[in-house]
Amino acid sequence: MFTGIITDMGEVLDLAQEGDLRARIGTAYDMDSVDIGASIACDGVCLTVIAKGKTPKDWFDVQISAESVEKTNIGRNAWFTGRRLNLERALKVGDELGGHIVAGHVDGVAQIVSITDEGDSTRFWFRAPDALAKFIAPKGSVTLNGTSLTVNDVSGAEFGVNIIPHTKEVTTWGDARADDFVNLEIDTMARYVARLQEWNA
């Protein structure tokens, strides 16, 4: 379980196809404090640490199943050596819930339609898969590349969010470009509300 509050920007150091895809990710986390088997959200994908080290800097390895590759932007060639990733360690009991409840289970891939500066902030417009668009509502929460964000506007399958300078500075949103594919996790509460409405219809 996560909150969508990014605590580090990691870097893809290596990718290797070994049955499943194996990735080595450099991090500012002190890996002495991270156990083998721990969960770390990498661009919103909950992945398990299978190896770790500190040479020349802290790093950890994850194994990514074919299912995860297919359902995420990893399958759209979004991960490559040198690519920066939003990282978040799993939530501990007693931690502050600064964003919203995030499972780290990516529902699909959205595409950036446009990026426009608005004052000091930046307005991003995304196109969601049609099957997921119904779960996205104005003032609701959404997780994009692991970041908890508030939806400002919705128009059909497209929706907009504002990203403030601080968020761009401490996440990979400063690297984002139009047409990029991003990992989308819809709000769990929105999913349950929609399901209840189906049952009551």
> What is the tens place of the pLDDT at every residue in 144-180?
999 999 999 999 999 999 999 999 999 999 999 999 9
Q: How confident is the model at residue 147, as a pLDDT?
A: 97
- C-alpha torsion sign, points 94, 97, 100, 106: negative
pLDDT per position as a tens digit, 93-149 = 666 666 677 889 999 999 999 999 999 999 999 999 999 998 999 999 999 999 999
The tokens 């290596």 sit on which residue? 14
Model confidence, pTM: 0.92
pLDDT per position as a tens digit, 63-87 = 999 999 999 999 999 999 999 999 9
* Token output for 53: 């080290």
Q: How confident is the model at residue 127, as a pLDDT?
A: 98
82: left (phi over 0), alpha (psi -120 to 50) or beta: left
In the chain, the domains with their CATH numbers are 8-89 (2.40.30.20), 108-200 (2.40.30.20)
